[in-house]
Structure 1
Amino acid sequence: MTEKYERKETQSPDEKFKAISNLKDQLEENFITLGQLLSEIKRAKLYRFKGYEKFKDFIEAEYALSGSLAAKLVQSFDLFIEEMDMDEASVKEIGFDRLQMIRPLMQKAEWKEREEWVQKAGELPTKDLRDHIKEIKKQNQEEDIDLKKVYIEQYMEKMLTWFNCSGKELQFKLALFFQDADLEQVKKIVKERQREFELEQQKVKEE
């Protein structure tokens, strides 16, 4: 990491606040330094010096920056500069917008995959990068659909065997079962189990 991104413990909160005001109007040029300042302010909770309890409220009131944009600046600095230890020139060359395109895909990725995404972001034109990301997301969605399809097939096999009936007859039996059911309660249970299913699949992907 270059000297520029070492923690400046001698810089006062007021100096950091003033620096943000000077940098925010030229975001594309200053997004790294701005991300560094915001990251330090958030981490040290310096916004409390201004009487705010939440970082988001401080940013939106003092600098007219949306909380979501500030979060992206912080996350970009933390990921690309601090965690991946990339140099300023490489990060700036890719640019803030393209970094935001790849960042969600990188946060839980392994190091090799992260490096591949950085390389693609640096080499591919924006349109090609966007199309590639869409294709990856589509593949991930298809994998999720396939997992749900397997789950459905297992469930149907179990139920058809248990009731010893055809698929059409099973639908009739389920209709009888749900006819007088508390649908709000059913909806709540389904929502909870779907969340558990999706979390479990996410854990499998991360292993």
Structure 2
Amino acid sequence: MSELTHSIRRGAVGLSLFAMVTAGVVGVTHSLTAGRIQDNRLASQYQALGQVMPAELHDNDLLDGAVTLPAADSLGQPEPFTAWRARHDGQVRAVILPVVTPNGYSGNISLLVGIAADGSLTGVRVLDHRETPGLGDKVEVRKASWIEQFTGLSLSNPPDEQWAVRPDGGVFDAFTGATITPRAVVGAVRRSLEYFADNRAMLLDRPAGDASL
């Protein structure tokens, strides 16, 4: 019996040592890679921001222009969220809004929408989606140029009634066999412009009623 007890104790000690060593290895690995992962994440985010905001519109680091905004259902943001201000000579010249639409064929589509002080789009990019490969994924800039058509547009260009895909009487192309996806993106971009128009002073960090560009 004593030999069995001794054997059990040895096994327990061995397992404890193994667990301690494993935990130590995991901890060291995490500490060595956490910084690199964070750097890669920031680099990816910075690249995405730069794709929707032309360099000539800002002289600040876009990541440093982060601002927390109140929840906005129209943008698919039920909680306070982070947006980014593009400043030039200290003045906000444009903003970048993160937008989520639940109306994709396969669920949520996440976008970044850049809007200049005059209400025109500086760029739009899809960050995440689960749309059908070969069909709905054409909203990605690496798959097609479709998403680039928004640059320079505004609420009045095209006219309000034409802010839709062609099958719905609008000016935006639909994808053959995947109309739901472009319809969702067009709707999300339009709502972003409406949100900007309704909250322009707050977004540009200016007094209410300030119409300057």
**TM-score under structure 2 normalisation?**
0.22
The structure that is strand-richer by fraction is: 2
The structure that is helix-richer by fraction is: 1
